[in-house]
Structure 1
Amino acid sequence: MSDHPVNPSVLVISAHAADFVWRAGGAIALSASKGAPVHVLCLSFGERGESQGLWKQDGMTLGRVKATRREQASAAAEVLGASIEFLDLGDYPLRVDEAAQDRIVSVMRERQPDVLLTHVPSDPYNRDHNLAHETTLLTRMVAQAHGHDRSTRPIGAAQVLQFEPHQPEVCGFVPDLLLDITPVFDRKVKAMQCMSGAQGHLVQYYTDLGVRRGVQAVRNGAPKTVTHAEAYQRTFPTVGEDLR
């Protein structure tokens, strides 16, 4: 049972073009720094509901917002060390059709991720996040099926890690992993700053959250050198050889 990869490959399924930065930027940068491949799939640009700063500018159009979000998210992904692609499915509401599902399945089979990062299943504030979670589980199931598209290889039992929502208490989020992102937190901050033109108010929020989760990590047994962390909740049981 010790055949788990040392540096697991990661696929991030992000409802909007900035979610992966705020919620999982540390995990992405940490994995990439260890040489693991990380790919981000943005289901939408978050152009309608998550680009407040851009819509306050005179003469703003939907096309310009999308283009700006693409540019910002691409820059953030580069800082974090990840590749990225955009499905442009719209937001508020997000709609994932059959063609989009097929594309996600094909990406999973191409990338063969060991870990999937995505949203929680129940966010009453943002139903786009719920659909991103359900889409992740649905496409994971299809990507595992041996009878689906025999020209490609099924994926294994990739763990699905839910990253922390903006208001975790209301979303039923109970973390069982506090990930030490201290070595790469400066990269996360730089990536967050790439998105500040649309959602600048979140930079300080997620900086503070990283500190709080770092404190909690130390209280839960991490070395005192840990200063920043991100919280995650596993969807499936972990498998081990002892009780640690």
Structure 2
Amino acid sequence: MPATKSALVVSAHAADFVWRCGGAIALHAELGYQVTVLCLSFGERGESAKLWKQDGMTLDRVKDVRRKEAENAAKALSVHDLISLDLGDYPLDFTRENKMKIVDVIRKAQPAFMFSHSKYDPYNTDHMNTTQAVLECRMIAQAWGHNPGEEVLGAPQLYLFEPHQTEQMGWKPDTFLDITPVWAKKRDAVECMQGQEHLWEYYTRVAEQRANHFKRNSGGQSGGRDCKYAEGYESIFPRTVDEL
């Protein structure tokens, strides 16, 4: 692992990283991590209804607006590097060539940990297909025979951030992160996503609900840590630890 601490977010669409792990991005940026955000698409077809309702809207104009929103949000969260691959959405195009682009980003970032979507999402298959591709690309990035001579990836944890309807996705969080110190940054980033204003208050309520779970699981009323805003994650791989 490089001396510089790093993390990687693979976001199916331009706004996903903001709603689902914006707090983790801002918090770890303050802790000295270089956080790379890889947006596979701008969500131009499936997640830009507000823009498409405007007269004379075109695909390129929608992409331009969503790109700018993502850039503004990334700045608010102190993202180190925002990469947009423009693979299209609904559906995302996971050709072999496009998967190799993801592998290249993973190897360059050499993340200590990664974030992506839930394993299952019947409402938005772009999300679950992204995570399946991320798992495959993580495996390829670990292979010594892939582009010999490049730095090989270690074994970064993959955290699955919260989907929109958890009870339908089989998502079960095992990690809660207190994002109270950086909540203002996340809220600023959320408000950059003008194309999906209807989700601003929804994800504020999610953060407040997860804060309750953080408090309960850190000791509850018998001495739990106070928390106003939190994010939840489901981890994929076992952890190796020296103490609990």
SS in 1 for 2:83: strand
| TM-score of the aligned structures, taking structure 1 as reference length | 0.94
Residues 95-134 of structure 1: matches in 2 within 5 Å? 95-134=93-132
Task: Give the length in aligned residue pairs.
Answer: 239
Q: 1:20 is paired with a residue of what secondary structure?
A: helix
What are the equivalent positions in structure 2 for 1:93-242 lying under 5 Å apart? Answer: 93-195=91-193, 197-221=194-218, 223-242=224-243
- What percent identity do the matched residue pairs reach? 49
Task: Please state how far the C-alpha of 1:225 moved relative to its aligned partner.
Answer: 3.0
User: Is 1:70 aligned to 2:71, yes or no?
Assistant: no
- By how many angstroms is 1:182 displaced? 0.4
Q: Provide the residue aligned with 2:12 in structure 1.
A: 15
One-letter code of the match for 1:40?
A: V
**Which among 43, 52, 55 is matched to residue 55 of structure 1?**
52
What do residues 178-226 of structure 1 show as CA deviations (whole Å, max 9, x unaligned)?
A: 100000011000000000x210000000001101100111111164431
Aligned AA (1:182): T
CA-CA distance at 1:86 after TM superposition: 0.7
Q: Which runs of 5+ in 1 are unaligned?
A: none
State the alpha-carbon separation in 1 of the partners of residues 102 and 208 from structure 2. 34
State the Cα deviation string for residues 147-197 of structure 1 (Å, max 9, x = none): 1101311110010000000001110011000100000011000000000x2
Gaps of 5+ in 2: none
SS at match of 1:205: helix
Tell me if structure 1 keeps the 8 A contact 2:2–2:110. Answer: no
2:29 aligns with one of 25, 28, 32: 32
The letter of the residue matching 2:66 is R
Give me the whole-angstrom Cα distance separating, in 1, the residues matched to 2:214 and 2:56.
46
Cα distance in structure 1, aligned partners of 2:165 and 2:152: 35
| Structure 1, 215-224 or 117-126: larger mean CA deviation | 215-224
